[in-house]
Amino acid sequence: MLRTILSALVLSFLVGGPVSADSLYSLETTTLQGEPASLSQYEGQVALVVNVASECGYTPQYAGLEALYAELKGKGFVVLGFPSNDFGGQEPGSAEEIATFCKKNYGVTFPMFSKVVTKAGSEQSPIYTLLGQSGELPAWNFSKYLVGKDGQVIQFFPSKVEPGSEELRAAIAAALGN
């Protein structure tokens, strides 16, 4: 994340003004294991970006997210999990604790990234700054953004929309071109 911020500041200085990302896939972040990760590796795929938390009433959605990922990953679809402690302090754990919890309790294999701030403000992750340009920011954990193959937000789904819901599955199928 620091590298993304520094890159944006350097570029901003060179071009003489603020620079904003135009695609989710133009951003960089850090994996849950602390490794740098470019979201460009998902370009051309449909992504479901979710702010996750281990101690939330919606935490059982991990099972549905993993099932959706397992079913559709070979068809150009990916789930991207971004832990956040923004709502009710429900993601207090370290990266290692989050990874262990997700693997042990839900068998999560979809990509998970380092903890981020989703709420607007100076600490907000560049990822959620970009996603928020859709006019929606998470109001709670397990909010979902469906992002198209071009890295643009297609639709926002609030926490209560389950990963297996007809509404979400129909939107994913449309984005995939099925």
Task: Cite the active site residues.
Answer: 105
Query: How wide is the angle at C-alpha 135 spanned by C-alphas 84 and 156, nearest 5°?
Result: 65
Q: Spell out the residues 6+ positions from residue 86 whose beta carbon is closer than 8 angstroms to its own.
A: 51, 117, 118, 119, 138, 141
Q: How many CB atoms lie within 10 A of CB 104?
A: 9
With contact defined as beta carbons under 8 Å apart, do 53 and 141 qualify? yes
The closest alpha carbon to 47, from 165, 155, 159, belongs to 155
The closest alpha carbon to 158, from 50, 38, 71, belongs to 50
